[in-house]
Amino acid sequence: MHRIEDYALIGDEQTAALIGTDGSVDWLCLPRFDSGACFARLLGDENNGHWRIAPVGADRCTRRAYRPDTLVLDTVWETDEGTVMVTDLMPQRDRAPDLVRIVQGLSGEVTVHSTLRLRFDYGSAVPWVRREDGHRVAVAGPDSVWLRSEPEVHTWGEELGTHSQFTVREGEQVAFVLTWHPSHEPRPPLVDPYTSLGHSVTDWRAWAARCRYRGPHRDAVVRSLITLKALTYAPTGGIVAAPTTSLPEEPGGVRNWDYRFCWLRDSTLTLNALLAAGYKEEAEAWRNWLLRAVAGDPADLQIMYGVAGERRLPELELPWLAGFDGARPVRVGNDAVNQLQLDVYGEVMDSLALARRSGLPPKPDIWALQTVLMDFLRTAWRQPDEGLWEVRGGRRHFVHSKVMVWVAADRAVRTLEEHPELEGDLEGWRQLREEVHREVCEKGYDPERNTFTQSYGSRELDAALLLIPRVGFLPPDDPRVTGTIDAVRKELGQGGLLRRYSSQARTVDGLPGEEGTFIACTFWLADALHLTGRTEEARELFERLLGLANDVGLLAEEYDPVQGRLLGNFPQAFSHIGLVNTALALYGDQQAG
């Protein structure tokens, strides 16, 4: 059974595939990140769809790596007969998505086998396969996939799969191209696999060269930025939290969620990472996605949207999939879309303020939208909510949510102070800012332990409290800030990393079982240590976090320090955003946040 860290990512900025160390593509949704998967072995078994290319009789590869500063993956097997390399990529698409796999002989003479099992609709639909013009064509309902090889190799059907076997010697190459299109449309134009490879390498390296960061661990920062770029839905600029669903937060557990959507909570941190690293175009595209998504009645603001801004993301369970390592249920869609999370108003206000300060081209009606959001918050901020962790155990007065309401009021006030030509209720927003601040310090702070708490009247802690100095709610040298950092580190620490909240807080999240340490939260701890003058400790922690990435530099959502394995959806944008921002804070000329 694969571990999460056994996978590498390729993609075309509209969808993405996961490829294991055995050379098998085990996850691919076509044509979008949130479409049905045609390879779902990741959450089931081989009969749920996969595509493996490897030497006959070989298991795990000898080594693999991305070509420097690209999303092109080279996987190498060294066998008794010789050495062979498979190069995987998804070219940026013109009309149709293509998956290109090029087999190259490096030495000796190696027999290679390809097994393709297409299973549309998350592994549930076996297509009808026919031959046409040198292709294998698979059709089921709305989906059609064409497979060809250059040069043509011996190919046959067996056990509801398409098999190919051939021999490559040093210097020889065989390329496979798999192309999807709607079954009611004609086949799209063919792409040349070798030209696509050359263009992909050139384009990715040109993009990576734009990174302004020149400090230590630049390779890790660039890899994280490339990953964020790969998780971007290019037509709209939206960035998915992860390209996967239902990778468990606990081995064999039920904490399995669909992350193939765009969360507003990520907006400020994402904008900061992109702008500080020099990617203004991507930051502007994300800002514009954000504006389109949140347009409308502020009372209807959602915490997440589809990649094109879709509002309805109904949660379903797929009983025919056994789950990753037996973790069930497998879910698609996400019912958390219906939750009230007041912090997202602060994150939207903070993002738009950051965009304005950073000189992104102005858009009409941005300030009008912000004033409407503030009018809503004036009364709504007193409500309990589900908080940024999307708990399913009932609403509470979460301290982080109230702090982010303060952020919203603060950014509105600062914007008016800096731009007096704009119209707004300056005094009213100042009063709101002061009132929220006073209440949080009275009701969300435990003077006995010198720490802020997860919610009003609670003794539980929350790693999101580490953001208090980062957002400016209190200065870093305030004793309540340093006390909170020390308390969070002590009570939520595990193996030098951080959990999101206390393991005893199951009444809060309403779910059985445990979860791993949360990687983004541990980056927040490094940021907080740095802000409070403990930079050497912060850098040591950052080094530890870099060591959690897999062999190709990818991070999941969580990490199990006991078993030493990644947990949760993968790769996780939130984790890679944390890596970029913390590197910029510790070594760059920008502060985190």
CA distance 548 to 519: 9
Q: Indicate the DSSP class of residue 130.
A: E
CB atoms within 10 A of CB 478: 14
CA atoms within 13 A on the CB side of 85: 16
Residue 245, pLDDT above cutoff 60: yes
CA distance 72 to 11: 9
Label residue 508 by pLDDT band (50, 70, 90). low
CA distance 291 to 363: 9
What percent of the chain has a predicted confidence (pLDDT) above 90? 88
- Of the candidates 13, 116, 30, which has an alpha carbon nearest to the alpha carbon of residue 71? 13
CB atoms within 10 A of CB 354: 19
Amino acid at 543: E
Looking at residue 351, what is its pLDDT? 94
Residue 482 Cα distances to 20, 324, 467, 468, 529, angstroms? 43, 40, 12, 10, 9
CA atoms within 13 A on the CB side of 171: 0
Residue 590, pLDDT above cutoff 60: no
Structure tokens that stand for 160 in this block: 């509801």
Looking at residue 509, what is its pLDDT? 65
Looking at residue 592, what is its pLDDT? 36
Looking at residue 175, what is its pLDDT? 98
CA distance 164 to 176: 10
DSSP string, 494-517: ETTEE-SB-TTTHHHH---S---E
Amino acid at 65: A
Structure tokens that stand for 358 in this block: 């950073």
Residue 379, pLDDT above cutoff 80: yes
Looking at residue 512, what is its pLDDT? 66
CA atoms within 13 A on the CB side of 360: 25
Average pLDDT over residues 71-96: 96
CA distance 76 to 103: 10
Average pLDDT over residues 491-513: 78
* Residue in this structure with the two tokens 């539980």, named with its chain if needed: 460
Residues 418-461 have pLDDT tens digits of 999 999 999 999 999 999 999 999 999 999 999 999 999 999 99
Residues 204-238 have pLDDT tens digits of 999 999 999 999 999 999 999 999 999 999 999 99
Q: What is the pTM (predicted TM-score) of this model? A: 0.96
- Residue 6 three-state SS: helix
Label residue 591 by pLDDT band (50, 70, 90). very low
Residues 284-306 have pLDDT tens digits of 999 999 999 988 888 888 999 99
